[in-house]
Amino acid sequence: MKPTQRLHDLGQSLWLDNITRDMLDDGTLERYIDEFSVTGLTSNPSIFDKAISAGHAYDDGIREKVADGKHGETLFIELALEDLRRAADLFKPIHEKTDGVDGWVSMEVSPLLASNTDGSIEAAAAIHQQADRENLFVKIPGTPEGLPAIEQSIFNGVPINVTLLFSADQCMAATEACLRGLERRQNEGRDLRLASVVSVFISRWDVAVAGREPPGLRNGLGIAVAQRTWREWCTLVSSERWKRLEAAGALMPRLLWASTSTKDPNAPDTLYVEALAAPGTIDTIPDKTLEAFAEHGKVGEGMDPQGADSDKVLATFEDVGIGIAALADKLQRDGAAAFVKSWNDLLGRIEEKGKSLAEA
């Protein structure tokens, strides 16, 4: 049995952190589903930027849309949704088999809206309607301005993937926003079977503190943050507040581990995937990490719901002057800025390609 299947049997979903038109055309995504137990995928502007610049798979689509007078965000969203609809259809049997728990794809609102609550709400609703797929999440950053947009979007019936979360506190704030949206739906007698995920980024912690770690804790900060987050999430799942919603038919926001490819060339390439195995959660990983884990990954008993070692590890980092809360806020701000840069780079690349194709 492949390690990917053993992870699936443990209760964790494996999602692909990638999408390209080529992998849809050549059957790679179908192979990942069939051979590696992949049950969903995530996307972001950087992924599409690399896919569009890597070859000519998108040339016809860009040429046609430019000829129709489309450009900028409008053109990109149409282009991305063409891919994501195809992926969503591949995952539809999984979505139906799991009664809406799994089998999802994700599309991001413009990162330029990270500080615009009303704009994020409007964009999420528009993407949800335009996508026309029940198993497509709309990604909204879990920034302070994004939290009310997340709550309102859930209330509006839009499935949400909360992105750019880095700590247990940020994750719980985002989960609370999702629950408030569900509770408001309950008060209005609306359907509560509305899925959401909260995405916590892991490896960026270790990149941020590289060279400053306490002895023996290289590549240990991200995992400790994940352990604490897992403990807080498990506590919320067992709370009376959640049990009332669950009894009424609600779906719990699922915890998703993001940024789980190993960045340290001296560390095992399956480091984070193995450490973050936990039932009920999702791990979204790029192709290279997926292939590596399928080949030689190891699956143990899963993470400790009590997060036994996390407090001690985090305290050790605090002792050497690395403030966890302050670094989490910085990572979120830096992540939002990086997404804006990726978004602008992507739109610039599409603009350049559109012009060159039109001239040709």
Dist CA 146 CA 83 (whole Å):
26
DSSP lists the bridge partners of residue 136 as: 105
Residues 6+ apart with CB under 8 A from 278: 11, 12, 230, 255, 302, 303
139 is catalytic: yes
Query: 349: how many CB neighbours lie within 10 A of its CB?
Result: 17
- Residue 59 region, left (φ>0) first, then alpha (ψ -120 to 50), else beta? alpha
Query: 129: how many CB neighbours lie within 10 A of its CB?
Result: 9
- The DSSP secondary structure of 296-335, one letter per residue, reads H----S---TT-TTHHHHHHHHHHTT--HHHHHHHHHHHH
- The DSSP secondary structure of 11-56, one letter per residue, reads T-EEEES---HHHHHSSHHHHHHHHH-EEEE---HHHHHHHHHHSS
Q: Strands 160-165 and 282-285: what pairing? A: unpaired
Catalytic choice (97, 139, 312, 330): 139
Dist CA 348 CA 72 (whole Å):
8
Dist CA 10 CA 283 (whole Å):
12
Residue 263, classed as helix, strand or coil, is: coil
Q: Would you name the residues annotated as active-site residues?
A: 139
